[in-house]
Amino acid sequence: MAVLSRMDWYDIARTTNWTPKHVTEDELFPQELSGSFDIRMEQWENYDEPYKQTYNEYVKVQREKDAGAYSVKAALERSKMFETADPGWLSVMKSHYGAIPRAEYSASTAEARMARFGKAPGMRNMATLGMMDEIRHGQIQLFFPHEHCPKDRQFDWAHKAYGTNEWAIIAARHMFDDMMTTRSAVGVALMLTFAFETGFTNMQFLGLAADAAEAGDWTFSNLISSIQTDESRHAQIGAPLVSVLVANGKKAEAQKMVDIGIWRAWKLFSVLTGPVMDYYTPLEHRKQSFKEFMQEWIVTQFERSLLDLGLDTPWYWNQLLEEIDSQHHGMHLGVWYWRPTVWWNPAAGVSPEEREWLEEKYPGWNATWGKNWDVITENLLAGKRELTYPETLPVVCNMCQLPINQTPGPAWKVRDYPLVYKDRTYHFCSEGCKWCFEEEPERYAGHLSLVDRFLAGMIQPMNLEGALKYMELAPGEIGDDAHGYAWVEKFRSAYTKNTA
C-alpha cells in the first residue's frame, strides 16, 4: 500500500481544534493554565511549528538515540575514566547531575501543560513529544551517574540534591519552579522553551559536550549531545508562539515574560556553567571561555532571533553584557570559599598557568578576583587553611537566591539593591533581579531565602554545622578542593623566596 509522505497529511492531522458544546471555551482552556491573552481561537491556528515530526518518526529516532547513548555507556563501563579523569572533571559531572535530571523530570509536567492547555494545535503536538523528551532526560541522567555511587557518595546527589534545601538547589528550584511548574502554557513556552532552552541550554549541553569529548569522557559527551538534539527540537515551541502574540498585539506581554526568563536563566548559568567552563575543566581541554561561548550563543545568535521575531533586546541588555565578563568569577569564588556547602569538590582553577589564561581571556582578572585569590593562596601556603573556610553566610539575592557579589579589588563594585515591600526588606544582586520582583511582587514575596530562614531560626544550631545539617550534607558528601590543594604548591618557590 502506498504511504503518503508526512507533509501530504500533517496539516490535516494537526487541525485538532474544535468548537466545544458541553463546556465553554474558557472552561476547556482556563486562563490560568492556558494564558492565552483572549486571543481568538482561529488565530491560534496560525501557529506553525518549524520542526514537524510525527509520533512514528519520533519513536524511531528516540529509540536510535537511546540505543546509541546506552551502547557507549555499556562499552566504556570497564574503562578507567572515573579513576583517571581529572578531579575537576568529576566535579563538572557531579554539579551537572545534581542540578539537572530532576529539573528535567519537572520540565515534563511543564511540557504536559502545553500539550493539554496550549490553544495552538501545533504547540500541543510539539509539546507532547517534548514531554516525553523530558521524561527521558530525567531518567537517563539519573541512570548514568548511578554506576559511580559505590565509588563516590557525591554522585548520589544526582537524585538527592533536588529534594534538599542545599543553597544552590534552592536557587535552581526557585528559577525552574518559576518558569516551569507555576506558569501557564504560554508562560512555559515563552520562558522555558524560548528564553531558557533556545537561549541557554546550548551553553550547558553543547559547551559541556565539547569539553567532555576533549577530556576523554565519551559517555558523558555522548549522553548530553543526545539530550541536546531533543532540546533543540522542543525549544522551537516558543518562537512561533512569539509570532502569534506579536501579530495579535501582545508584544509587550511576550517581551516581559521573555525578559524575565532570560534574566533568570542568565543568573543560574553564571553559577552552574561559568565556573565549570573557566575553572573546573582542565586548562588543556577548554574549547572556549564562558564569555566567548556567551558572546557566540547569546549575544550574537539569540539576540538575532529575538529581533527576527519582532521582539526587542531586553532593557537590561547592556547590564547583561557587562555581567558576562564578571559575574561567574564571583560565583566561582563564592562556591569555592563556601565549598563545604556544595555536593561536589570545586576545582580552584587558579594555578599560575590558569591565572595567565584567565588574564588573557578576561583582562584585569588579576587586579580584581586575583586580589582575593592572592590572600587565599598565601593563607594556604602559610598553612592557615582555617582562614579559607567561611564563618558566616553570604547574603543571597531574594530573586536568584545566589550570593550577592560583584567585582572586587580596587575597582570594587559590590552593592546591595534593596527593596521594601509590605514592610519587609528584600535584597537583590542587581537591577535585573529587583525588576523581576517588582513586576510580580505577590508571586515572590512569600519566599524565604536561606539567609531569611537562618534569621528566622529555622537553621539550628546557628553555625556551619547547623547549616550543613539543614542542607542535608553528610560527611563524605561535603565539598572540598578538588585537587587537594595541590595547585598551591606551584606558588611555593616564589612564596619561599619572598618570605625568606
Partner 1 sequence: MALFPLVSNFQEDFVLQLLAVDSENTMNEVAAAAAHHSVGRRVAARPGHIMRIRRQGSDKPFPCEMKLQDTGLKPMECIEVVWEAL
Q: Which residues bind partner 1 (CB under 8 A)?
A: 330, 333-334, 337, 369, 371-372, 374-376, 379, 387-388, 390-395, 403-410, 412, 414-416, 418, 425, 427, 451, 454-455
CA distance 162 to 165: 8
- Closest separation between CB of residue 92 and partner 1, Å? 23
The residue written with cell numbers 558523558 in the block is 220
Q: What angle do CA 189, 191, 193 make, to 5 degrees?
A: 50
- Closest separation between CB of residue 279 and partner 1, Å? 15
Residue 3 exposed, middle or buried by CB count within 10 Å (0-12, 13-18, 19+): exposed
- Closest separation between CB of residue 288 and partner 1, Å? 24
Long-range contacts of 27-35 (CB under 8 A, 24+ apart): 29/117, 29/119, 30/117, 31/184, 32/184, 33/113, 33/116, 33/117, 33/184, 33/185, 34/117, 34/118, 34/119, 34/184, 34/185, 34/186, 35/183, 35/184, 35/185, 35/186, 35/187
- Give 122 or 334: the residue with its C-beta nearer to partner 1: 334
- Give 189 or 404: the residue with its C-beta nearer to partner 1: 404
CB 406 within 8 A of CB 330: yes
- Closest separation between CB of residue 346 and partner 1, Å? 15
CB 72 within 8 A of CB 94: no
- Closest separation between CB of residue 399 and partner 1, Å? 14
CB 263 within 8 A of CB 298: no
- Give 268 or 376: the residue with its C-beta nearer to partner 1: 376
Q: Kindly state the cell numbers that stand for 328.
A: 561567574
- Give 34 or 407: the residue with its C-beta nearer to partner 1: 407
* C-alpha distance from residue 41 to each of 126, 252, 273 (Å): 18, 20, 40
What residues are paired with 417 via a beta bridge?
Answer: 428
* C-alpha distance from residue 280 to each of 51, 70, 284, 481 (Å): 36, 26, 11, 11
Residue 361 exposed, middle or buried by CB count within 10 Å (0-12, 13-18, 19+): middle
- Closest separation between CB of residue 378 and partner 1, Å? 8
- Give 232 or 388: the residue with its C-beta nearer to partner 1: 388
- Closest separation between CB of residue 395 and partner 1, Å? 4
- Give 9 or 389: the residue with its C-beta nearer to partner 1: 389
- Closest separation between CB of residue 426 and partner 1, Å? 10
Long-range contacts of 375-379 (CB under 8 A, 24+ apart): 376/337, 377/350, 377/488, 377/491, 378/495
- Closest separation between CB of residue 21 and partner 1, Å? 57
The residue written with cell numbers 491560534 in the block is 44
Cα four-point dihedral sign 200, 203, 206, 208: negative
- Give 315 or 412: the residue with its C-beta nearer to partner 1: 412
- Closest separation between CB of residue 95 and partner 1, Å? 19
- Give 71 or 498: the residue with its C-beta nearer to partner 1: 498
DSSP string, 166-186: -HHHHHHHHHHIIIIISS-HH
- Closest separation between CB of residue 271 and partner 1, Å? 13
Question: Residue 265 in 3-state DSSP?
Answer: helix
Q: Say which DSSP state 410 is in.
A: G
Within a 13 Å sphere around the CA of 250, how many CA atoms are in the beta-carbon half? 20
Q: Say which DSSP state 403 is in.
A: B
- Give 168 or 451: the residue with its C-beta nearer to partner 1: 451
- Give 28 or 414: the residue with its C-beta nearer to partner 1: 414
- Give 111 or 481: the residue with its C-beta nearer to partner 1: 481
